[in-house]
Amino acid sequence: MWRAVASNALTLLVVALFLLGGLILWGQGQYSNAGPLSEPICLRVERGSNMARVSRDLEAQGAVTSAMIFRMGADYEDRAQDLKAGSFLVPPGASMADIVDDITGGGESTCGTDVVYRIGVTRLTVQVRELDPATGQFAELASFTPGEGEVPEAYGEKKAEVGTRFRIALAEGVTSWQVVESLKQIDLLEGDIAEVPAEGALAPDSYEVTRGATRASVIDRMAASQADRIARVWDNRRDGLPIETPEEMLILASIIEKETSLAEERGRVASVFVNRLNQGMRLQTDPTVIYGVTEGRGTLGRGLRQSELRRETPWNTYVIAGLPPTPIANPGLASLEAAVNPDDTDFIFFVADGTGGHAFAVTLDEHNRNVARWRQIEAEREAQQPAAND
């Protein structure tokens, strides 16, 4: 009898172990296989939250089949204590394992609110945006210029929200003084900047920042990036150029940057200045004259006067020969590359063509015809302005 009981118990134990093993395998499959989510969602993890609360939220949004299995998997991998606050994009079909990796990894938000501080050539603007997970596109919630009018409530709310990402977007052609003045207006940052960096020393780019970051650290990152770009581009320069040092490349690139915003024109604009330097001609470019007037402290806000075109300053290339002594702005990577790899042309003149680009010429006669067309376009625009204001 006891032998039969023992045999039955052993059989039950084997069956139980088999079922348990099957259950574990099933659970592992549920944890590792593609999840049920058909549309992306933005998972918000509040500061002080826990894996149990997150698992229930995921189950409620249809991202996981079982909150319990999600918690057990996170516990088994010893990841439950690594939960990070933020907003995380959960793509369609994401497995529980993938989601755990995202919310316990680097802690960088991948969706939700994005605050961008845009340092442009005329002003600093702040844009508050929200990512729509379904489309992958940002919808603007607010936009404003610091110091001009009231600050939108959305900015204060989103700035304090866990998971909000912050970026500083530095445009090409901004002067170092403008960068420093803009950073002073960004209330997310702390600390002072000891001095205005050398003109041209900062790399136009997008920089992710965090609350409490110092302004000096942002400047250091911009300067390190530009130094790296200068070194790389100079090493890949074309032979036979009329520039002899990385600093001269930087000066020429800054002039190219201020003369055109069209990517397809940079090489041609660069060729004009290289041809002029090779022929011993003065560069005669208005942006250098403007820099001589403003010295990079803001924009001129009006047209150049004839007296300013004749005035001798270190940067007035209508008066001085060759390159000015310093850059006139912070050029982007494309302008640096154009300075040392210009198009192969015979152009030595260019003027605005009324479309946002320029008309290029080899001879003075051709250039004068282009100038005459531009003057006509200017006159027609001025004649239309009163009618437009009526």
Domain coordinates of the chain in residue numbers?
27-104, 113-230, 238-385
Comparing C-alpha atoms, which of 54, 113, 49, 59 is closest to residue 87?
113
The C-alpha atoms of residue 73 and residue 81 are separated, in whole angstroms, by 13
Q: Angle, to 10 degrees, between the axis of helix 96-104 and the axis of helix 2-32?
A: 60
Structure tokens at 235: 């090493």
Instruction: Tell me which of 1 and 357 has the higher pLDDT.
Output: 357
pLDDT of residue 4: 52
Average confidence (pLDDT) over 121-135: 87
Strand 165-170, strand 113-119: pairing: parallel
Highest mean pLDDT among 45-59, 155-169, 248-262: 248-262
pLDDT at 165 > cutoff 70: yes
Confidence of residue 9 (pLDDT cuts 50, 70, 90): low
Instruction: Tell me which of 73 and 359 has the higher pLDDT.
Output: 359
Average confidence (pLDDT) over 22-47: 72
Residue 46 phi, psi dihedral angles, 5° rounding = -75, 155
Comparing C-alpha atoms, which of 204, 250, 213 is closest to residue 230?
250
Structure tokens at 201: 């020393």
Average pLDDT over the chain, rounded to whole?
86
pLDDT at 64 > cutoff 90: no
pLDDT at 233 > cutoff 90: yes
Confidence of residue 316 (pLDDT cuts 50, 70, 90): very high
CATH of domain 27-104: 3.30.1490.480
Residue 73 identity (one-letter amino acid):
G
Could you give the 3-state DSSP secondary structure of residue 361? strand
pLDDT at 217 > cutoff 90: yes
Confidence of residue 347 (pLDDT cuts 50, 70, 90): very high
In the chain, the percentage of residues whose pLDDT exceeds 90 is 49
